[in-house]
Structure 1
Amino acid sequence: MQRPIMTSRSFLRMPGETAGPGDETVVQDLVDTLEANRSRCVGMAANMIGVNKRIIAVVDEELGGRITVMINPTITSSDGAFETEEGCLSLTGERHTMRYRRIEVDFEDRRFRAHHATFTGWTAQIIQHEVDHCNGIII
């Protein structure tokens, strides 16, 4: 089910709680909401739909534009720092931030199986933005 986009900065600044079995509806709602906003958004975190859980969904162009879900993502390594400007569906305008060209991430999939993966380029940038949301960091 598509949900409205959260714009409350005080809510968005709260670090997300660990997600687990029982949060499958949140995962689907996040994917549905991202799909509905795909023309203006390439990633979302659960707090952007009003749910304080560590769940993100990203459009992965390296996988043909498929939406990838990551539950409880943690960036474990990063390199290749660069400065950029980013926008956010929950906020107006763009803001200056630093990102990394290559990251490694520990996360769980929709079946709560553990994964470790490396991401580069645009996909890595999207993941970093959404993991920031999970950590209560808004740009």
Structure 2
Amino acid sequence: MIKPIVKDQQLLAKKAVPATKTDRPIAADLIDTLNAHQTECVGMAANMIGSNKKIIIARLGPLNVVMFNPQITAKSNPYQTEEGCLSLIGKRPTKRYQKITVKFFNQAWQPQTLFLTDFAAEIVQHELDHCNGIII
């Protein structure tokens, strides 16, 4: 189901709680909502659609990848950039890393590890900031 985008910064500033297997239906809402905003958005965190769970979705090339309880385990090559967000107006400066390794559970609740670089890595870092209550 397409959900409205949360813009309340007090809600967005709350740190997400870990997801469980019972939270898997949230993935469908993230997929539907991201697809509805595909022209202006490449990723979302569950708190952006009203669920304070540690779940994100990132459009990585042609694929929408849902990550439950994602955690960056390695990062390198820091750089400064500007990012926008569907929940915020305008762009803001932020620090990102060009290369990251992220561990998470997929929709079948299987552990996964991805090595991401460049824009794909930036998307995941942005969404993880949402999970950690960090507003760029």
What is the TM-score normalised by the length of structure 2? 0.98
Residue equivalent to 2:84: 87
Residue equivalent to 1:119: 116
Amino acid at match of 2:16: G
Aligned residues: 136
Residue equivalent to 2:107: 110
2:127 pairs with 1:130: yes
Residue equivalent to 2:70: 73
Which runs of 5 or more residues in structure 2 are unaligned? none
Which runs of 5 or more residues in structure 1 are unaligned? none
Where do 1:29-44 residues align within 5 Å? Answer: 29-44=29-44
- Report runs of 4+ in structure 1 exceeding 6 Å deviation: none
User: What's the offset of the Cα at 1:25?
Assistant: 1.7
Amino acid at match of 1:124: A
Residue equivalent to 1:2: 2
User: What's the offset of the Cα at 1:30?
Assistant: 0.7
d(CA) in 2 for partners of 1:107, 1:21: 13
User: What's the offset of the Cα at 1:76?
Assistant: 0.9
d(CA) in 2 for partners of 1:30, 1:56: 8
What is the TM-score normalised by the length of structure 1? 0.96
Q: Give 3-state SS (helix, strand or coil) of 2:67's partner.
A: strand
Residue by residue over 1:63-94, the C-alpha shift from the partner in whole angstroms, topping out at 9 and shown as x without a partner, is xx210111100111100101000000000000
User: What's the offset of the Cα at 1:10?
Assistant: 0.5
Q: Give 3-state SS (helix, strand or coil) of 2:22's partner.
A: coil
Q: Give 3-state SS (helix, strand or coil) of 1:22's partner.
A: helix
d(CA) in 2 for partners of 1:38, 1:116: 25
Amino acid at match of 1:21: K
Identity among equivalent positions (%) equals 46
Residue equivalent to 1:17: 17
d(CA) in 2 for partners of 1:117, 1:66: 13
